Structure 1
Amino acid sequence: MIFSVYIEIKTRSVKTRFKTIVVSDVHLGTKGSKAKEISRFLKMYECENLILNGDIIDGWQLKKSGSWKRKHTRFFNRIIKMIENTGTKVFYLRGNHDDFLEQILPLQIGNLSIQLDMIYESNGKKYFITHGDVFDSITTNLRWIAYIGDVGYTFLLWLNRVVNFYRYKRGLPYFSLSKYVKGKVKSAVSYIDQYEEELAKMAKAKGCDGIICGHIHKAENRMIDGIEYLNSGDWVETMSALAEDHEGNWQLIYYNEINFKSSEDHVILPVQNPTHQIIPFKEVSFNKSDDPDLENPSFRL
């Protein structure tokens, strides 16, 4: 008797390796934070340098109504794996929502460095990297107004979830309410334009070729008066990051545009004429996750 056995082989494509990846405004500790998505994103790519450009942890919300969940811890577990497995150098820069870091700045533990800002040199160019709140007169001089603005933005995000829940039920695509509001309010548009121009001026004053920032939750990659202006966006709505290849070219990567399915293919190979009949064992499941990040790895630095 002739038996034909088919073996399923799972092949993974080689990970794209960048020189540097920049993410900002993750706001861990809030309901709007896309912690699962950014952990999955960082698992897709490898990089020599990972720059966490501020507002990674939302200390403001954690003091009020925020809560820390397992998915928020998994984000840092992913960072640790990047350090241990591929030797990634991680730079965590202070933002206004994680300004509690000022109490320990500067701090370096192995490949992890926590600091205020930095000058990044690559392929003959210099970039000034900062979260961006230091150039925002509202967050630096009128902190109470900034808190009120934070409450309003939090309400918009809550309303955004409600609106998109009903849109999802009706089969409609995602709609960013806060982005729509900011786009309609002339003062907000004017503020963003002025913010970007001021940052470009600061980079030029420091003798840099470009500026890399976050803070305003608006991803951007454009030239302003000869200065390369780069904004990594956020992981509350936009879900975007900046990535630099080894030739010094920068690009914006959006989570919703990544084809995760292409990273894993299944190939079925036939095996002809086995010498004996194969009797399968019974399958036993212990409900163990296939994803090591979803287990309980030790959290260490």
Structure 2
Amino acid sequence: MGKHTYRTLWLSDIHLGNRDCKVDYLLDFLSRYQADTLILVGDIVDLWSLKSRFHWPESHTRAVRLLLERADQGCRIIYIPGNHDEAIRKFIHFNLGHVELAHKYIHTSANGKRILALHGDEFDSMVCHSKLTSLLGDAGYDFLLFLNRWLNSYRRFTRQPYWSLASYLKSKVEKANLAIARFRHAAVTMAKHKDVDAIVCGHIHHPEITEQDGILYLNDGDWIENCTFLAEHHDGVIELIRWTEQAECLDSSTLFQVNPQITPLFDTEKQKEKVKQKEKVA
């Protein structure tokens, strides 16, 4: 695969520092893309996991280095901390050079649509019945990742492509599907409240593109189970892409595609400046 060029990328739930991070696929992706803007939608570094069991191989350092290199090369990077890297939220108002920190971020698409990005842990109280339910869910999820890790070790040994057992089993559990639906509804409600056209979240490790109540709901997935990200092309098409042995488009939306009969939004430097002024932290 050669270089892939995008207008905007959204990635989240990389969980560097966690042994289940699919860092090899991530490194391959980071070495092959170019983008004008990269929005990191939380849980990039798994501080929770590092606190309980330190795991930081050299490959995780290389991933951080590649991200910083993209910033040095002119890629605009916005970092929205999640719950697993929430300690970074304390530094939101500090200048970190080429990486901008924000609680939420509104991006303007190629044809002027407003897309709100936030991690999604804000919706936990609407998804989980209680703290006990949440803790039991975490324990069960850890076990799923354990099974996923060993299954894919065997698949690599037998030269089979990556396959997420964890995602497959979650899709068969009624309560998991109910929690995902509640999360989606909470995100769409937030988008309406913020008066935006779309919302991007991570957090629940369930990649998806869905239009609901006139709002485009986008979840960029994760790099623990699914190895997925969202990409906006320069014509405004947004795709959900899985990056494992071979890049694969899982879904796409032409909702924000630029109409070729309309003058492009970025036709002049003056128009560029106007759009840039509208892009702000929500």
**TM-score above 0.5:** yes
| Alpha-carbon distance between aligned partners in 1 of 2:87 and 2:134, rounded to the nearest angstrom | 16
User: Is residue 139–residue 146 contact of structure 1 (8 Å, CA) maintained in 2?
Assistant: no
| Alpha-carbon distance between aligned partners in 1 of 2:4 and 2:56, rounded to the nearest angstrom | 31
Measure how far apart 1:241 and its partner are. 0.7
Q: Quick one: which of 37, 56, 59 aligns to 1:49?
A: 37
User: Is residue 200–residue 220 contact of structure 2 (8 Å, CA) maintained in 1?
Assistant: yes
| Alpha-carbon distance between aligned partners in 2 of 1:29 and 1:121, rounded to the nearest angstrom | 32
Measure how far apart 1:139 and its partner are. 8.7
Alignment of 1:5-24 (within 5 A): 15-24=3-12
1:155 to 2:113 alignment: no
Q: What residue in structure 2 maps to residue 25 of structure 1?
A: 13
User: Which segment drifts farther, 162-171 or 55-64?
Assistant: 162-171
| Alpha-carbon distance between aligned partners in 2 of 1:241 and 1:217, rounded to the nearest angstrom | 11
User: Is residue 57–residue 97 contact of structure 1 (8 Å, CA) maintained in 2?
Assistant: yes
Measure how far apart 1:199 and its partner are. 0.5
Q: Which runs of 4+ in 1 moved over 6 A?
A: 138-141
1:211 to 2:186 alignment: no
1:258 to 2:247 alignment: yes
Measure how far apart 1:234 and its partner are. 0.5
| Alpha-carbon distance between aligned partners in 1 of 2:80 and 2:232, rounded to the nearest angstrom | 18
1:130 to 2:118 alignment: yes
User: Is residue 127–residue 179 contact of structure 2 (8 Å, CA) maintained in 1?
Assistant: no
User: Which segment drifts farther, 182-191 or 145-154?
Assistant: 145-154
User: Is residue 126–residue 182 contact of structure 2 (8 Å, CA) maintained in 1?
Assistant: no
| Alpha-carbon distance between aligned partners in 2 of 1:148 and 1:66, rounded to the nearest angstrom | 23
Query: CA offsets per residue over residues 240-289 of structure 1, 9 Å max, x none?
Result: 11011122221112113329xxxxxxxxxxxxxxxxxxxxxxxxxxxxxx
Q: What residue in structure 2 maps to residue 110 of structure 1?
A: 97
- From the superposition, tell whether residues 196 and 84 of structure 1 become closer, same or farther in structure 2 (CA, over 3 Å): same
Secondary structure (helix, strand or coil) at the match of 2:44 reads: coil
Q: What residue in structure 2 maps to residue 178 of structure 1?
A: 166
**Higher relative contact order (Cα pairs below 8 Å, separated by 6+ residues):** 1
1:238 to 2:255 alignment: no
Question: Percent same amino acid among aligned pairs?
Answer: 39
Q: What residue in structure 2 maps to residue 89 of structure 1?
A: 76
Q: What residue in structure 2 maps to residue 71 of structure 1?
A: 59
- From the superposition, tell whether residues 94 and 144 of structure 1 become closer, same or farther in structure 2 (CA, over 3 Å): farther
User: With structure 1 as the length reference, what TM-score do the two structures score?
Assistant: 0.75
Structure 1 gaps of 5+ residues are 1-11, 260-301
- How many matched pairs? 246
| Alpha-carbon distance between aligned partners in 1 of 2:127 and 2:86, rounded to the nearest angstrom | 11
- Pick the structure with greater CA Rg: 1
| Alpha-carbon distance between aligned partners in 2 of 1:237 and 1:40, rounded to the nearest angstrom | 16
- From the superposition, tell whether residues 224 and 109 of structure 1 become closer, same or farther in structure 2 (CA, over 3 Å): same
User: With structure 2 as the length reference, what TM-score do the two structures score?
Assistant: 0.80
Give the aligned residue type for 2:218. Answer: L
Secondary structure (helix, strand or coil) at the match of 1:136 reads: helix
